[in-house]
Amino acid sequence: MKLYYSPGACSLGIHVVLEELGKPYELALVALKDGSQHKPDFLAVNPKSKVPSLDRGDGRVLTEFPVIAWWLAKSNPEAALMPTEFEGETRCLELLDYICGTIHPQGFTRQFRAANFTPREEDQPKVVEQGKALAAKYFDTLEKHWTGGTYALASGYSVADAALFFVEYWAVRRSGMTLPPRLEAHLRAMLARPAVQRALTQEGLAL
């Protein structure tokens, strides 16, 4: 397998999942800051111009974080990264979608790429503040409806935790936000996992 990633991007979550699996894989750097996602070599891999992208090793590529995470979990059941019962799997997918479809774009893309949300440069600080406020709101929602213990789901550690980790990491390390207590404890638990530490080290990120 080969993971197309950019250091510190949302692909970090898939990187963590691959490390949890413990199976051989390669990393292929896509430097988003340099616009590499728009260059022909990468467009041939993923015409959507985004990471993560996963070459499964069979000549086919998967795109979109929730689908990649689901496929890795389901194709490696021995790793127990997806609940085995139907309701648990449903809740895992629900959380993946909320993180990747709401918290990421509305809470953090607004902060990191404010120009995408306004044609007026003078309005960009307002967009950033709006992103922080939305991220805080979404985190509070997760806090109030937390169903797990140390990890997000009652069934235990899953790919949803790897997804939650990347937005928590952004909040604390990039945005200077304070997480609610359960999410702060979750972030600490994630940072203590060897797989997370290996992924961060490989991407040149702070532990």
DSSP for 3-34, please give it: EEE-TTSTHHHHHHHHHHHT---EEEE--GGG
Q: Which domains does the chain have, with CATH numbers?
A: 2-79 (3.40.30.10), 86-193 (1.20.1050.10)
Total-model pTM: 0.96
Strand order in the sheet with 2-5: 26-29, 2-5, 53-55, 61-63
- Quick one: CA dihedral 146, 147, 153, 154, positive or negative? positive
Q: What is the pLDDT of residue 59?
A: 87
Mean pLDDT of 90-103: 98
Tell whether the model's pLDDT for residue 165 goes beyond 90: yes
Q: Match 């604390």 to its residue by tokens.
A: 172
How many angstroms separate the CA atoms of 125 and 6, rounded? 25
Whether residue 162 contacts residue 14, with contact meaning beta carbons closer than 8 Å, is answered with yes
Tell whether the model's pLDDT for residue 21 goes beyond 90: yes
Q: What does DSSP assign to residue 63? A: E
Whether residue 159 contacts residue 70, with contact meaning beta carbons closer than 8 Å, is answered with yes
Tell whether the model's pLDDT for residue 109 goes beyond 90: yes
Q: What does DSSP assign to residue 36? A: G
How many angstroms separate the CA atoms of 178 and 43, rounded? 37
Mean pLDDT of 39-47: 96
Q: Give the amino acid at 127.
A: V
